[in-house]
Structure 1
Amino acid sequence: MGTVMEIRMLGPLEVLAGGRGVAFGGVRQQQIMAMLLAHSDRWVGVSRLVDCLWPDDPPATADRQVRNCAASLRRTLVEAGLAPADLAVGSGGYLLRTVGCEVDRQRFESLVAAARRDRDAGDLPAAAAGFRAADRLWRGPALAGLAEGALAAEALRLEEWRLQAVEDRVAVELDLGLHRVLVPELLSLADAHPGRDRLQCALMVALCRAGSAAGALHAFDRVRSRLSVELGVPPGSALQRARRAILAGVPFGLDDLLPSALAAYAR
């Protein structure tokens, strides 16, 4: 049996065997590894790998270069302890089996799913802890340094999952009364993601519950300006409802602001 490998995608690509990093033979090996991971346990054709390595103008020798690079990658992984059968080679491409590996993406998905089950069962402290544990797996932007061309979509998909999990965790922690603790984090998140209504609404809820209705109105004005300048759109209906509630002095929470489909989209 081969060595259990740790594979990390939630940040720069890393592969560890026995706790030691596996040295790739260049960026192209990393790109191929990332593509195989993005489609783990499925065949990835040589033509798809060519598109990943040369999105615009592949050389005439692209197929041969991909096969040579993949063969070198396979030798590297097998020498590090991967079972040879776990990186299968076929006439048209390659298949990476991760069933015997510890993949941070899979661990993240498992923790988030468990946290959502805890939330739905009413165990909010366990849900918050689960979401926090999932977020700690992230070491930076997904596939940092490789998120170009064909890998950009995978990196964006992983980042979207992360943000959805963060939004779910924030909602749980607001229900736990942690609004004061959340304000600094939400200020940063809202600034980084002006187009995400859940985060903007969560910030306004947290500020109001912390006794700063003026701060919540300022947050609304700030995001309204950014949406106008950067995206050419007005604030969404949820943000408008939050502003009206503040001006009317009516207490509100996330469930009062967001359409049911949006509030529950990650369930």
Structure 2
Amino acid sequence: MDFRILGPLEASVEGTPLSLGGRRQQRILAVLLLRAGRVVPADRLVDCLWPLRPPATAASQIRNCAAALRRLLIAGGLPERSLVRRPGGYVLDVEPGELDRTRFDDEAHRARRSLAAGRAAEAVGYFLRAENLWRGPAIAGLADGVLEPEAMSLEESRLQVIEDRLEVELSLGRHARAVPELTALARTHPGRDRLQAAFMVALYGSGRGADALASFDRLRSSLRRELGLEPSRRLRDLRQAILTEDDARLPPTGGWGPARDGEPRRQAALLRPRGS
């Protein structure tokens, strides 16, 4: 069985979609998949279905919904032992590879392991495989109430993978190729320093230093106007490095993303336009 939460909630058996019942059963399944292999307290399921004022029959309705969901999943081929009631709650066990969120984490881990070993091009491939598991916003249509923070956490993981992959692409000299994607991402996520920095680097590395500086100016104007804030020190340092073509003025890490144990540092020279 294949469960998917990186987009609308779906379950399928050998490619055939499985009916998941009504909205309440779907929300229960979403919570169980987000905590796959761990006991989900019944109180959390109640909060998921009735965040403000649960009815007096909430506990019995949870039992009924969970039982109906269990019947649907068993009919689809899930082993009976996979969804069970435990003291205090419910637990759903899924096999390795049956949940897209787990596959996403595995591909991202392979990518970062390849990067730490110096295999940058291989890392890009794994990052892309992780990104391609996404079909839209996480648990789309269900990500409200107590599920909203879970969906936001998944989205943050997705964006971190995109940032990691783009930084590796830039380290491989693929500046011009990255510009269109970064143009859209920088516009959509003005508060993400790594994306803004990568956008400036991609433009500068493509021989478009003036555009890189203009992107910084637009961001600064937007932050001042909407939030009364200035761009981060990281971005200001990067602007100065681009403005003066002075590698000594780059951030001390020589890169633009957070350091990880064993991760190779991007060298300041990577910011220079190709052929300079």
TM-score by length of 1: 0.92
Q: How far 1:226 sits from its partner (Å)?
A: 2.4
Q: 1:13 aligns with which of 9, 15, 20?
A: 9
Task: Give the Å deviation of 1:16.
Answer: 0.5
For 2:81 and 2:97, the matched residues in 1 are separated by 13
Deviation of the 1:180 alpha carbon: 0.3
Alignment CA distance shift 1:107-1:67 (3 Å) = same
| Partner Cα separation in structure 2 for residue 198 and residue 20 of structure 1 | 40
Could you tell me which amino acid in structure 1 is paired with residue 31 of structure 2?
A: M
Provide structure 2 residue ranges, at least 5 long, that are not aligned to the other structure: 264-276
Partners in 2 of 1:105 and 1:253 — Cα distance?
A: 36
Q: CA 1:138 to 1:55, structure 2 compared with 1: closer, same or farther past 3 Å?
A: same
Q: Does 1:256 align with 2:254?
A: yes
Offset at residue 154 of structure 1 (A): 1.1
CA contact (8 A) 2:10 2:18 kept: yes
Where does structure 1 lack aligned partners over 5 or more consecutive residues? none
The equivalent of 2:154 in structure 1 is: 158
How do residues 27-46 of structure 1 correspond to structure 2 at under 5 angstroms?
Answer: 27-46=23-42
Partner of 1:126: 122
Aligned equivalents of 1:24, 1:232: Cα separation in 2: 47
CA distance in 1 between counterparts of 2:178 and 2:250 reads 14
State the alpha-carbon separation in 1 of the partners of residues 262 and 16 from structure 2. Answer: 36
1:77 maps to a residue whose letter is L
Number of aligned residues: 261
Deviation at 1:153, TM superposition (A): 1.3
The equivalent of 1:196 in structure 2 is: 192
Whether 1:223 aligns to 2:224 is: no
4+ residue stretches of structure 1 with deviation over 6 A? none
- Equivalent of residue 55 in structure 2, options 42, 52, 59: 59
Q: Does 1:177 align with 2:176?
A: no
- Shift, 1:71, TM fit: 0.8
1:71 maps to amino acid: A
In the alignment, residue 106 of structure 2 is paired with which amino acid? S
C-alpha separation in 1, matches of 2:100 and 2:11:
11
The range that moved more, 60-69 or 129-138, is: 60-69
Mapped to 2, the partners of 1:230 and 1:84 lie a distance apart of: 54
One-letter code aligned to 2:5: M
Q: Is the 8 A contact 1:43 1:93 kept in 2?
A: yes
Q: Percent identity?
A: 50
Contact 1:238/1:257 (<8 A) preserved:
no
Q: Is the 8 A contact 1:179 1:210 kept in 2?
A: yes
State the shift of 1:133 in Å: 0.8
Equivalent in the alignment of 2:234: 238
Q: Report the Cα offset of residue 62 of structure 1.
A: 1.3
Q: CA RMSD in A?
A: 1.9
